[in-house]
């Protein structure tokens, strides 16, 4: 149903029309897509190895980019002696990225796999990864874990593993846990636990993140993907109502906002400073997106500092009136407060709050009732409990339901649909905020823009969307993810960006031809959200990234992705330009993203190599497109030739050839 709905919109585009069409998802296909049957293969068969499954789906494995041998400068004298004197150790050593160095090599370490039992091999700890390889099995058994995904490391007691009396449990951010067992003498000699903790949490140990050491060369510079001036120009800005302001060029107005902001033309800098003083963290309302026809806008900000005494700010009230006046099609402004009404009231008692309709007479306040970061963190914890390491098949649906994860995904999508619909159908400008304007606000504005603007549904456009709405506008990635920090219980951690990507994946399921990127693209982004291999998601805001020189000292994730676009391209993509997507925000149309959350379980892998099939389809599509272009050129040549013949010989007639694509 979804594809039919989207395909029906095609002729309007082919005919050259620029009218914007709303595309709504149907029901059947989205529900049917979720009925995935687990594999019946035995876990101890070679094809049942979860390592091979990981290789198919986990984007963190960029093994095609890495050297197969260990550079000698990356290995100390002790490790080199171990390697040179042990052929098995040579076979089991870790491949290294440029700039990566080995810190510990320990042989006869046992990986206690929850699916295949205990596997003995060589453990290598580098400044980027933990790598275990065993050549006892065919094909060789490999566990390759970027240290950035590790949330905590704990010593545990192990039994029934012979001489391997020391144990470690490693809890990861990507929905898996790992258990190792090794000999006491290895621990005494190599300090495996201490080395692992030091390298897994470099920030807590005064060390740099690995992204600053990574030296891979890519053909594309991903740091050039997003240019704010170019993106605002694409949107038709500046115009008579909106200007590009440099008031925050030194991050003095708001230290968590980008240097380049779009604000109403008539607003003076002095008034803007007063508005900043009234808004939490100085995050004033600024433009995120403008409708190309109606000029209705999405603006984002933080909560006003109303407080328990209903404090007012005339500059702020005038500012929102100016935002409304910039859209001549409507005499109303909708303020979407992402929070629960009760939570907003609590914030008001603490000095925050929300806009009262008495102070903002032309504004309508709507609470979207989305829960806070702590509720989302607890929901993901519950989800991990039911998907790893074992799955209770008899209670699967009720267990998923008990986590409320899909309900929270539904609420985000429903809120974004309401925002998009007010802009598109209501031609009304909207203001979006939560408390600080960097979590739920980013989720909602980015999703609404994805629904409204087909550019953001391309690979390049989605990269721009992430750079703009998330990275430049100060989503606190370092704080929410905990890059290199050993405080796993930090209350500021929360899967906010993961929820956004999950929502995007839900949209790709409902509109399979509307997005240029595939599932692997989204998984790659999430894997490197944690890996600390690239600099893209480091730090908390633009000012911090500038101070740390992230764009000059690290590599962008987009460099890696854009250097091999065929890996991440959806072969079914059709550019439905000027079409608005309205996903169905109903639990009947949402499904758990098994390929991400349950990918470590070999029983849940697909029956066929999906990614390879998609690449083959993409190659066929490219070949067919080339044939169509060749036929079109041939038809054009014949048409010109026949016209010439008719001109020189009136008695001669020829039937023109028309190629319909």
Active-site residue set: 434
List Cβ neighbours of 289 (8 Å cut-off, separation of 6 or more). 235, 297, 298, 445, 448, 449, 452, 453
- Give residue for tokens 């708001």: 254
For residue 5, CA distances in Å to 43, 291, 455, 486 come to 41, 23, 19, 48
If we measure between CA atoms, which residue out of 104, 103, 96, 123 comes closest to residue 179?
A: 123
What are the φ and ψ backbone dihedral angles of 162, each rounded to 5 degrees?
65, -130
Residue 614, both tokens: 């998609």
| Number of CB atoms found within 10 A of residue 480's CB | 24
Structure tokens at 227: 């240019």
Strand partners, 334: 364, 430
- Comparing CA positions, the residue from 32, 30, 31 lying closest to residue 3 is 30
CA 264 to chain centre: 31
Read off the DSSP letter of residue 100.
-
Can you say whether residue 496 is alpha, beta or left, with left for phi > 0 and alpha for psi between -120 and 50 degrees? alpha
User: Quick one: tokens of 159?
Assistant: 């039994």
CA distance 442 to 475: 7
Phi-psi region of 578 (alpha: psi -120 to 50; beta: other; left: phi over 0): left
Q: State how far the Cα of 530 lies from the Cα of 303, in Å rounded to an integer.
A: 29
Contact 228, 468 (CB under 8 A): yes
């Amino acid at each position: 149903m979804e594809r039919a709905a989207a395909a029906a919109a095609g002729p309007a585009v082919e005919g050259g029309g620029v009218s914007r069409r709303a595309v709504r998802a149907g029901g059947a296909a989205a529900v049917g897509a979720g009925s995935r049957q687990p594999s019946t293969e035995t876990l101890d068969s070679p094809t049942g190895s979860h390592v091979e499954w990981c290789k198919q789906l986990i984007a963190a494995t960029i093994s095609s980019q890495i050297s197969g041998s260990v550079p000698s400068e990356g290995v100390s004298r002790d490790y080199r002696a171990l390697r040179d004197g042990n052929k098995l150790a040579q076979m089991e050593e870790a491949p290294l990225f440029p700039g990566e160095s080995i810190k510990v090599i320990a042989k006869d370490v046992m990986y206690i796999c929850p699916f295949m039992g205990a596997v003995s091999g060589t453990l290598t700890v580098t400044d980027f990864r933990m790598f275990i390889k065993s050549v006892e099995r065919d094909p060789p058994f490999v566990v390759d874990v970027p240290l950035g995904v590790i949330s905590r490391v704990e010593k545990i007691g192990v039994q029934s593993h012979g001489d391997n009396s020391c144990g470690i449990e490693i809890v990861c951010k990507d929905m898996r846990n790992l258990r190792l067992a090794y000999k006491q003498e290895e621990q005494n000699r190599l300090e495996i636990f201490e080395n692992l903790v030091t390298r897994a949490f470099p920030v807590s140990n005064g060390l740099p993140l690995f992204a600053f050491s990574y030296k891979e060369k890519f053909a594309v510079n991903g740091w050039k993907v997003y240019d704010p001036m170019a993106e605002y120009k694409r949107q038709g800005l500046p115009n008579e109502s909106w200007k590009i302001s440099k008031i925050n060029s030194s991050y003095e107005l708001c230290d968590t906002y980008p240097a380049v902001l779009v604000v109403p033309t008539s607003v003076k800098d002095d008034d803007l400073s007063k508005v900043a003083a009234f808004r939490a963290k100085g995050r004033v309302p600024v433009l995120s997106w403008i409708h190309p026809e109606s000029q209705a806008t999405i603006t984002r900000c933080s909560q006003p500092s109303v407080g328990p005494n209903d404090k007012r700010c005339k500059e702020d009230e005038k500012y929102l009136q100016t935002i409304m006046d910039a859209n001549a099609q409507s005499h109303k402004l909708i303020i979407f407060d992402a929070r629960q009404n009760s939570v907003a009231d609590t914030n008001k008692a603490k000095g925050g709050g929300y806009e009262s309709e008495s102070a903002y007479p032309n504004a309508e306040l709507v609470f979207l009732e989305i829960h806070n970061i702590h509720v989302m963190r607890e929901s993901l914890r519950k989800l991990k409990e039911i998907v790893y390491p074992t799955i209770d098949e008899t209670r699967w649906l009720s267990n998923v339901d008990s986590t409320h994860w899909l309900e929270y995904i539904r609420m985000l999508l429903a809120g974004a649909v309401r925002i998009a619909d007010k802009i598109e159908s209501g031609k009304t400008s909207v203001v979006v905020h939560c408390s600080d304007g960097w979590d739920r606000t980013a989720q909602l504005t980015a999703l609404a823009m994805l629904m409204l603007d087909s550019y953001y549904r391309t690979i390049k456009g989605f990269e721009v969307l992430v750079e703009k709405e998330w990275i430049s506008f100060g989503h606190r990635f370092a704080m929410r993810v905990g890059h290199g920090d050993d405080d796993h219980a930090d209350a500021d951690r929360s899967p906010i960006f993961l929820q956004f990507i999950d929502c995007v994946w839900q949209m790709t399921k409902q509109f399979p031809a509307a997005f240029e990127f595939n599932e692997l693209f989204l998984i790659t982004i999430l894997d490197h959200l944690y890996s600390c291999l690239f600099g893209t998601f480091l730090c908390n805001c633009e000012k911090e990234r500038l101070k740390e020189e992230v764009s000059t000292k690290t590599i962008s994730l987009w460099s890696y992705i854009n250097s091999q676009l065929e890996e991440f391209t959806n072969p079914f993509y059709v550019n439905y330009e000027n079409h608005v997507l309205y996903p169905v925000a109903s639990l009947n149309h949402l499904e758990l993203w098994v390929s991400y959350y349950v990918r470590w379980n070999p029983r849940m892998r697909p029956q066929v190599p999906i990614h390879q099939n998609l690449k083959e389809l993409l190659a066929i599509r490219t070949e067919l497109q080339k044939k169509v272009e060749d036929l079109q050129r041939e038809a054009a040549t014949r048409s010109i030739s026949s016209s010439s013949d008719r001109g020189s010989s009136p008695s001669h007639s020829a039937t023109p050839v028309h190629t319909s694509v």
